[in-house]
Structure 1
Amino acid sequence: MSKALISSTAGLGTRAKGITLILAQILPVMAIVSLFPAIPKLFAEFGDRPGAGFLIPAIVTIPSLVCAIFAPIAGIISDRFGRRKSFIMGLAVYVLAGIAPLFLDSLEAILASRAILGIAEAFAITISSALIGDYFEDDRHRWTSWVGVATSVAGTALIVTGGVLADVSWRGPFAVYLAALPALFMAILVIDEPRKTPRPEGSAVALLGFPWRAAFVIAPVTLITSVLYYVEPLNIARVLDMRGAGSSTQIGIIQAATSIAYIGGAFLYRRLHELAVGRLLAIAGVFIAIGQVIIGRGVDWQTVAFGATIQQIGGGMIIPVLLAWGQSMLPLEQRGRGMGIWATAFFAGTFVCSPLVSLVTSATGGLLPAMQVMGVITLLFALAAPFIVPAPGRKSTQALKA
């Protein structure tokens, strides 16, 4: 690659940069799903330790919890000290912390490495989200839709890979984190500081502080949407098992088949991205709501799988819609901190969803009626979304950025 070409694209979005950022967006998925098949092996290895019933599942969940806590800090650091250095540092620590359990024998040490992984994940996901907005601006919808496609495909592949490696050893699935090396190498080669749009000297826009009004709209809407989004992924395997779908392998195959619709949802967003965010969330919410109700009312696994397929169409729209919305509402100088707040809201949904579904399950007498109730709640949110999220008119946009 010539120096002239590198100079001409310095600070601007390119295909190589977009691919690198999409690879970084896969990392939170890698942190969770690749270890699902290893949980029985981890219990066999560490099950006799005090508190193993809590500590072993925490190996899977603690990175997301720590990521949710540290994402705003990662965003502030990237805004202050630069995107490139912060991003590369996060990816490097991610690889090292990810493979650390290959060499650790202590359960406590493994948990500590997983917490460090969560901090690195906060840097990777927050800064890659900000950079997509920085580099691609009005074309961001195309790249955020590819995030949805990539995470769906990667999630399916990682579950299978983790299962194969878990058959070798309980340590095996941790080798999956070596797959983050290509993202690290590409980041070193192609990621640079985004080019700022020149502004007139003394411009009032340059004096604006952090857009807290925008953040106070984006964060709660993202949290609510995330909670409703995670209802199906966190519970569909149990419902399929209750409806006689067969072995864990068969259930995994059914889930993989239904996730194809997730890719369709991401591409549907690309076709509809010019609609107002509230309308896009409404469309996605209707798909998710209908799917959840069908899942809850399904009398056999085929019907449940049909409901999951419909839900996945809406699910495939959610991440691209929320990402592009957050990026568009935040100025480049503050986008790192803003996307950190976004990441905290989104990943917090993982933890809020499970106790909420458990509470509804206790109140309704079972998981199946709970799925129907959550479907109705999702539908109500979908109907309200166009009124909750302001339309992209000039006045509302200026107000939110004030």
Structure 2
Amino acid sequence: MSRPAAAIGNPAAMATTAFPAAQPDAIRGETGKGLTLIFAQVLPVMAIVSLFPAIPRLFAHFGPHPHAGLLVPMIVTIPSLCVAIFAPLAGWAADRFGRRPTFVGAMGLYVLTGLAPLVLDNLYLIVLSRALLGMAEAAIITISSALIGDYFGERRYRWVTWVGVSTSIAGTLLIAAGGALADLSWRGPFAIYALAIPAFLLALVFIEEPARQSADPAGPRLGFPWKAASIIGAITIVTSVLYYVEPLHVATVLTDKGAGSATRVGLIQSVTSLGYILGAILYRRMHARSIGQLLGLAGLLIGAGVLVIALSPTWHGVAVGAAIQQLGGGMVIPSLLAWGQALLPIEQRGRGMGIWATAFFAGLFVCPPLVSAGASMLGGLQPSLLLFGALTLVLALVPPFLFGRASRAAA
């Protein structure tokens, strides 16, 4: 694979790490490591979607608070904001002090801060606990992404496929569980964070420091591959913005087209999300193709799905468009993950995947105001979606030319 940084892949340029390396263990315990890392990738999904059904109950409980209008939504959103801010710092800590101690420490912090609202009743303290949860998530998602590349090498495509499948299924189940627990109490959905306890225990058992190449003392020290990281970040943030157009707005379109109650809209979204699973499986079958081809095909599916949503006169057509978009979404995220892991050397993969996580979560925040701006200029949400769908189709034609055939996502 042609790599942007000249030092990547040059053993003589590998710098000495600041912590001892474990013996090679990429094969032994692969299933335990893989399941642990998949579980870890589900935790950020848990932090967001499990609380969606609880927002009305949170407002009912904290309504008298003078700043409830600001702070209650932050209970849901601030973890993602902290991921975007702190992911590069988490990646630096993993590269500097070691993957295992940073990862295990973050998992422990996640358990404590996730369960904290079960005993807290001060809104400020709850928001603070959620911010700390986001900092833990930043380390978890960054280091687990790096470890998939560290442990599995060219077999990484199998595990990023399962990450896509698992997070899609977990998202659907967690929304349902959060709704059931919210009917019991506003605190109920926070009990879901008890599921992080077995993930923490799995990390203690299976996560080991990956083996690293020893440096040649006479050779040059390896500088951070800013060129590779910049390419990864730029491609990821653009892709993230275009990907989130559908997940953040399709419920509104379904409601406007007469899909029915919020429960029915949720069920429709759950069914269309099966397309994401099929997309992840499609990526697994096509993983050996170049990153340009993979991103191009995913972009065509995402753009086509958004166009169908924008042009459909009924909610049935909107649902078909959402399924097409999810098919592309199931391809694009595993492709970006595997590609980023392949471009970065193990000694600096933590920082590099931190930049990837920041870019991806930044896209989540940038997407809504961009779509809103388009709606203001064009006179409605559906014309704005039409614009973004067409833009996605145009941009999908770029990657096959931008990246040569030698740029394989799984190389």
Give the TM-score category using the shorter length: over 0.9
1:150 maps to 166
**After TM superposition, which residue ranges in structure 1, 4 or more long, deviate above 3 angstroms?**
6-13, 197-204, 387-394
Out of 236, 247, 255, the position equivalent to 1:241 is 255
The CA deviation at 1:53 is 2.0
Query: Whole-Å Cα distance in 2 between the matches of residues 316 and 383 of structure 1?
Result: 19
1:133 maps to 149
Question: Secondary structure at 2:398's aligned position in 1?
Answer: helix
Out of 174, 182, 186, the position equivalent to 2:202 is 186
2:19 maps to none
Amino acid at match of 1:169: S
- Tell me, yes or no, if structure 1 residue 16 matches structure 2 residue 32: yes
Q: Deviations over 1:80-136 (max 9, x none)?
A: 111001000001100110111111111111110000000000110000000000001
Structure-2 change in CA distance of 1:376 and 1:390 (3 Å): same
Question: Secondary structure at 1:168's aligned position in 2?
Answer: coil
Q: Deviations over 1:303-342 (max 9, x none)?
A: 1000000000001011101100110000000000100011
2:371 maps to 357
Q: What does 1:152-167 align with in structure 2 at a 5 Å threshold? A: 152-167=168-183
1:195 maps to 211
| Contact 1:11–1:192 (CA under 8 A) maintained in structure 2 | no
Query: Whole-Å Cα distance in 1 between the matches of residues 240 and 194 of structure 2?
Result: 29
Out of 281, 284, 299, the position equivalent to 1:270 is 284
Out of 354, 374, 382, the position equivalent to 1:368 is 382
| Contact 1:12–1:135 (CA under 8 A) maintained in structure 2 | no
Structure-2 change in CA distance of 1:43 and 1:23 (3 Å): same
When normalised by structure 2's length, the TM-score is 0.91
The CA deviation at 1:197 is 4.3
**Unmatched runs of 5 consecutive residues or more in structure 1:** 1-5, 395-402
1:348 maps to 362
The CA deviation at 1:9 is 3.6
Query: Whole-Å Cα distance in 2 between the matches of residues 338 and 53 of structure 1?
Result: 36
| Contact 1:11–1:193 (CA under 8 A) maintained in structure 2 | no
- Tell me, yes or no, if structure 1 residue 325 matches structure 2 residue 339: yes
Structure-2 change in CA distance of 1:358 and 1:153 (3 Å): same
| Contact 1:217–1:389 (CA under 8 A) maintained in structure 2 | no
Query: Whole-Å Cα distance in 1 between the matches of residues 69 and 364 of structure 2?
Result: 20
The CA deviation at 1:353 is 0.5
The CA deviation at 1:254 is 0.6
The CA deviation at 1:387 is 3.2
1:400 maps to none
Query: Whole-Å Cα distance in 1 between the matches of residues 107 and 27 of structure 2?
Result: 20
Structure-2 change in CA distance of 1:393 and 1:372 (3 Å): closer
1:397 maps to none
- Tell me, yes or no, if structure 1 residue 45 matches structure 2 residue 71: no
| Contact 2:310–2:385 (CA under 8 A) maintained in structure 1 | yes
- Tell me, yes or no, if structure 1 residue 70 matches structure 2 residue 86: yes
| Contact 2:93–2:102 (CA under 8 A) maintained in structure 1 | yes
Query: Whole-Å Cα distance in 1 between the matches of residues 85 and 402 of structure 2?
Result: 26
Amino acid at match of 2:80: S
Q: What does 1:99-110 align with in structure 2 at a 5 Å threshold? A: 99-110=115-126
| Contact 1:166–1:173 (CA under 8 A) maintained in structure 2 | yes
Amino acid at match of 2:350: G
Most deviating of 47-56 and 316-325: 47-56
The CA deviation at 1:275 is 1.1
The structure whose residues are more often helix, as a share, is 1
The CA deviation at 1:386 is 2.3
**Unmatched runs of 5 consecutive residues or more in structure 2:** 1-21
Structure-2 change in CA distance of 1:108 and 1:390 (3 Å): farther
The CA deviation at 1:276 is 1.1
1:255 maps to 269
The CA deviation at 1:50 is 2.1
Query: Whole-Å Cα distance in 2 between the matches of residues 11 and 341 of structure 1?
Result: 28
The CA deviation at 1:52 is 2.0
| Contact 1:229–1:315 (CA under 8 A) maintained in structure 2 | yes
2:295 maps to 281
| Contact 1:265–1:317 (CA under 8 A) maintained in structure 2 | yes
| Contact 2:29–2:206 (CA under 8 A) maintained in structure 1 | no
Out of 215, 219, 227, the position equivalent to 2:229 is 215
The CA deviation at 1:172 is 0.5
The CA deviation at 1:199 is 6.7
Structure-2 change in CA distance of 1:12 and 1:328 (3 Å): farther
Amino acid at match of 1:291: G
Query: Whole-Å Cα distance in 1 between the matches of residues 379 and 69 of structure 2?
Result: 25
- Tell me, yes or no, if structure 1 residue 176 matches structure 2 residue 192: yes
- Tell me, yes or no, if structure 1 residue 54 matches structure 2 residue 70: yes
Q: Deviations over 1:42-78 (max 9, x none)?
A: 1111122223222211111100001110000000001
When normalised by structure 1's length, the TM-score is 0.93
1:398 maps to none
Q: What does 1:309-324 align with in structure 2 at a 5 Å threshold? A: 309-324=323-338
Structure-2 change in CA distance of 1:393 and 1:174 (3 Å): closer
Out of 351, 356, 364, the position equivalent to 1:337 is 351
2:3 maps to none
Q: Deviations over 1:285-304 (max 9, x none)?
A: 00000000100111111110
| Contact 1:11–1:195 (CA under 8 A) maintained in structure 2 | no
Query: Whole-Å Cα distance in 1 between the matches of residues 96 and 23 of structure 2?
Result: 24
Query: Whole-Å Cα distance in 2 between the matches of residues 174 and 289 of structure 1?
Result: 36
